[in-house]
């Protein structure tokens, strides 16, 4: 069975003085409800091996960095001004158990519609997830994979 992992990043915080995304006092645009300014997010923490490459897409422009592990890095970061699209490859070394991303030097209204995709996929990738499953999942505004991210200490 094939599963496409898509992470939509919506839980963002402003960067604190030491550039860690732990300050919950971000300013949000009242229309888009997205954070304005430099932001960061914890994608996963103390999880299973997160190593691999991930493709990031976002509307807007910023400088991306990985803050959970100093050995992980960003490649192929580019910004298309005509579509206001930011793309980058997030390279996470093997045996890394989490991912924290920071977005600095944002411009305009900050970043919106941030998507992180598993390696080998892009926004046009097809998956074998059925329409029935998609219809079922569409009933929920939030789906939490608690065991996957070891929420509340789950193994």
Is 149 a residue whose pLDDT tops 60?
A: no
Give the residue extent of every domain in the chain.
6-153
Work out the pLDDT band at 22, boundaries 50, 70, 90. Answer: low
63-148-11 Cα angle (round to 5): 40
Q: Which of 9-13, 40-44, 97-101 has the lowest mean pLDDT?
A: 9-13
CA distances from 141 to 51, 68, 131, 144 (A): 28, 27, 17, 10
Q: Considering Cα of 39, then 71, then 118, then 134, what sign does the dihedral take?
A: negative
pLDDT of residue 68: 63
Q: What is the pTM of this model?
A: 0.68
In the chain, what percentage of residues exceed pLDDT 90? Answer: 14
Q: Considering Cα of 138, then 141, then 147, then 149, what sign does the dihedral take?
A: positive
């Amino acid at each position: 069975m094939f599963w496409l992992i898509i992470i939509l990043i919506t839980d963002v915080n402003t960067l604190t003085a030491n550039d860690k995304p732990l300050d919950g006092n971000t300013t949000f645009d009242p229309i888009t409800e997205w954070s304005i300014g430099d932001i960061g997010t914890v994608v996963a923490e103390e999880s299973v091996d997160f190593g691999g490459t991930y493709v990031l897409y976002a509307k807007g422009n910023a400088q991306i960095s990985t803050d959970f592990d100093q050995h992980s890095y960003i490649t192929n970061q580019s910004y298309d001004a005509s579509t206001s699209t930011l793309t980058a490859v997030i390279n996470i070394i093997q045996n890394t158990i989490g991912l924290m991303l920071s977005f600095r030097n944002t411009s305009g209204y900050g970043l919106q519609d941030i998507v992180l995709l598993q390696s080998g996929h892009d926004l046009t990738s097809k998956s074998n997830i059925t329409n029935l499953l998609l219809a079922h999942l569409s009933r929920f505004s939030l789906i939490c994979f608690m065991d996957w991210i070891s929420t509340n200490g789950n193994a």
